[in-house]
Amino acid sequence: MRSIEIYDTTLRDGAQSEDISFSVEDKLRITGKLDELGIHYIEGGWPGSNPRDAEFFKLIKKLRLKTSEIAAFGATHRASVKVNKDPSIKALLAAKTPVITIVGKTWDFHAREALRVSLKTNLDLIYNTIVYLKKRVPKVFFDAEHFFDGYMANPEYAVKALETAVDAGTDCLVLCDSNGGTLPQDLGDIVKIVIEKFKTPIGIHAHNDAECAVANSMIAARLGASQVQGTINGLGERCGNANLISVIANLKIKLKYNCITAGKLKKLKEVSRFVTEISNLRHFKRQPFVGDSAFAHKGGIHVSAIQRRSETYEHIKPELVGNYQRVLISDLSGKSNILRKAKEFRLKIDHDSPKVAEIIRELKDLENQGFQFEGAEASFELLMKKAFGLHRTFFDLIGFRVIDEKRQEKEKPLSEATIMVKVRGKMEHTAATGNGPVNAIDNALRRALEKFYPQLKQVKLIDYKVRVLAAGKGTSAKVRVLIESGDNTHKWGTVGVSDNIIEASWQALVDSIEYKLLRG
């Protein structure tokens, strides 16, 4: 079985993504997760480029890593300064990492236009830098920047740059598709030539501007590359880098290469979501392998098939990457979907019960009104329990009133809700303010119920979405409200629909509370 080394550059390339700014603590926590995943090399940043990276390399020495080696990233020394005098080279050595990755120009256009040096001088910069570092660091990798563009423009010079790095003692030639526009066929042809020419290990560093980064990485690996670079979730400048989540899954499951263990492969979804959370981004539902929708099935024919054999509509077993199969509920649902959801909800239902057909009819009617249960499975569970007589009423609404008041132009509006409910035979009349009318209702309802149901104190509103369902009706349009709630161990979604946003929100809020109370 061939072995492939995984080189992660989330902390540098990934940090260059728009809207992302990792703190030192963020970088340390991500490093710990990557080590748990079994990543071979973790690029920590560019020492000397900013205070955060300098602090990271100082603190990372205190972190006991089990698998990963930390790499520092930098560029060839400046033409105007000798290599041993260049501050950036000194900063690289001061990081005291076992690996240093040096980026150098291999495209003649870049040497002339970006560095503004002669082609001969550019080769000298590559050679001098690698020789100097190799005497002081165990491993030095050479990132051949813009290699594929350089090869297509001037193959002799691009190859000469690689030869220079090899002569200087580099441990790996990493071919970079820096602009991310090389197509798989062209990249494969070039990688094959390079691998046939050099005995030095070859790596691949692909960007995703033509959405080919993962495919390009796979092709390079199949042709003999022994190192694949990328970022978790494909983070990176512009359109991002090769997504290591997909790269690792494909290498391990599809190509049968030895990159991480099968046990650690099950951490893929966990690591993906961890980095997303630290990055303060939304999870991409449709992300291959680890997205919530990656193994979600909606059509009744599909569901019927996967219940017999999951491989009918799934290319791998989701558990291999830490994911799981989901069956969605919508107006496309058939009997198979309903029975599958009943099993998930641990409801014992007779397959031939007429209630199943009733639920399907009600479901399709509700979705025709604008309800959507794909992101509100808690509401659908309540619907099923009501149909089978498994639901109980925890309180009755007598009435509520919401006041929104804005007294001066510069002041924020004030929202206040008054609510009256009947709980266990007792009338509760409470009022509360909030950050908007929905929050005020939520606060008032909780105040009325928590003395009877203290477990509601654990419930937090995580997300609140409103969608206008009918175009062209302006402010009188029907709206759908989706609410995501959670407690210490679980998250659930509920839905409400009305031409009154307060009423739609009330429906979703009540479902959220009832779901929690039914679960205990």
CATH code of the domain in which 149 resides: 3.20.20.70
Is pLDDT of 347 > 80? no
Is pLDDT of 110 > 80? yes
pLDDT of residue 475: 61
pLDDT of residue 369: 83
| Res. 186 pLDDT band, cuts 50 70 90 | very high
pLDDT of residue 368: 77
Note the helical H segments in 345-462.
354-369, 377-387, 437-449
**What element of type H or E holds 465?**
strand 460-468
How much is the average pLDDT of 48-72? 93
Q: Which residue has the higher pLDDT, 329 or 178?
A: 178
Is pLDDT of 16 > 60? yes
Residues 415 and 439 in one domain: yes
Q: What is the CATH number of the domain that holds 422?
A: 3.30.160
pLDDT of residue 465: 83
pLDDT of residue 344: 74
How much is the average pLDDT of 211-229? 98
Please tell me the least confidently modeled range out of 8-17, 120-129, 322-331: 322-331
Is pLDDT of 217 > 90? yes
pLDDT of residue 336: 64
Please give the Cα distance from 391 to 385 (Å, whole number): 5
pLDDT of residue 342: 74
**Residue 127 in contact with residue 99, Cβ under 8 Å?**
no
Is pLDDT of 107 > 90? yes
- Tell me the average pLDDT of the chain: 90
pLDDT digits (tens, 9 = 90+) for 266-288: 999 989 988 987 887 877 889 99
Is pLDDT of 261 > 90? yes
β-strands 41-45, 69-75: how paired? Answer: parallel
Note the helical H segments in 242-334.
244-249, 262-265, 268-278, 300-308
How much is the average pLDDT of 480-488? 88
Residues 90 and 187 in one domain: yes
Please give the Cα distance from 395 to 412 (Å, whole number): 33
How much is the average pLDDT of 169-186? 98
pLDDT of residue 235: 98
pLDDT of residue 469: 79
pLDDT of residue 167: 98
Residue 175 CB neighbour total at 10 angstroms: 30
Please give the Cα distance from 476 to 131 (Å, whole number): 72
Task: Write the Ramachandran bin of 343: left for phi over 0, alpha for psi from -120 to 50, otherwise beta.
Answer: alpha
Q: What φ, ψ does residue 10 adopt, rounded to 5°?
A: -60, -40
In a domain, 276, yes or no: no
Q: Which residue has the higher pLDDT, 339 or 462?
A: 462
pLDDT of residue 474: 58
Residues 426 and 510 in one domain: no
In a domain, 336, yes or no: no
pLDDT of residue 50: 85
Q: Rounded to 5 degrees, what angle do the CA atoms 146, 152, 154 make? A: 90
pLDDT of residue 72: 98
Residues 427 and 509 in one domain: no
pLDDT digits (tens, 9 = 90+) for 285-301: 899 999 988 988 876 66
Residues 385 and 399 in one domain: no
Domain ends where: 260, 292, 315? 260
In a domain, 338, yes or no: no
**What's the longest Cα–Cα distance across the chain?**
90
pLDDT of residue 329: 58
In a domain, 200, yes or no: yes
pLDDT of residue 330: 58
SS3 257: coil
Residues 371 and 251 in one domain: no
Residues 410 and 368 in one domain: no
Please give the Cα distance from 52 to 302 (Å, whole number): 50
Residues 517 and 438 in one domain: no
pLDDT of residue 278: 86
How much is the average pLDDT of 88-110? 97
**Cα-only R_g, the chain:** 29
Please give the Cα distance from 84 to 89 (Å, whole number): 7
Domain ends where: 232, 260, 288? 260
Residues 52 and 114 in one domain: yes
Residues 195 and 83 in one domain: yes
pLDDT digits (tens, 9 = 90+) for 189-208: 999 999 999 999 999 999 99
Q: Which residue has the higher pLDDT, 281 or 245?
A: 245
How much is the average pLDDT of 417-439? 93
Torsion from C-alpha of 9, 10, 12, 18, nearest 10 degrees: 140
pLDDT of residue 351: 72
Residues 375 and 250 in one domain: no
In a domain, 406, yes or no: yes
pTM for this one?
0.72
Is pLDDT of 472 > 60? no
Name the DSSP class of 207: B
Is pLDDT of 467 > 90? no
Domain ends where: 434, 452, 470? 452
Is pLDDT of 53 > 60? yes
pLDDT of residue 312: 82
In a domain, 201, yes or no: yes
**Residue 131 in contact with residue 169, Cβ under 8 Å?**
yes
Residues in the chain: 520
Residues 243 and 376 in one domain: no
For residue 325, how many C-alpha atoms fall within 13 Å in the half-sphere facing its CB? 20
pLDDT digits (tens, 9 = 90+) for 362-397: 877 887 788 877 668 889 889 888 888 888 889 999
pLDDT of residue 455: 92
Closest CA to 511 of 493, 498, 499: 493
| Res. 314 pLDDT band, cuts 50 70 90 | confident
Q: Which residue has the higher pLDDT, 484 or 516?
A: 516
Is pLDDT of 464 > 60? yes
In a domain, 327, yes or no: no
How much is the average pLDDT of 346-362? 77
pLDDT digits (tens, 9 = 90+) for 402-416: 999 888 888 888 899
Closest CA to 248 of 202, 289, 205: 289
- 72 beta partners: 45, 100
Q: Which residue has the higher pLDDT, 346 or 415?
A: 415
Q: What is the CATH number of the domain that holds 364?
A: 3.30.160.340
Domain tally, the chain: 3
Please give the Cα distance from 144 to 174 (Å, whole number): 6
| Res. 128 pLDDT band, cuts 50 70 90 | very high
In a domain, 36, yes or no: yes
The residues, ordered by sequence, that sit 6+ positions from 475 with a Cβ below 8 Å of its Cβ are none
Enclosing domain of residue 439: 395-452
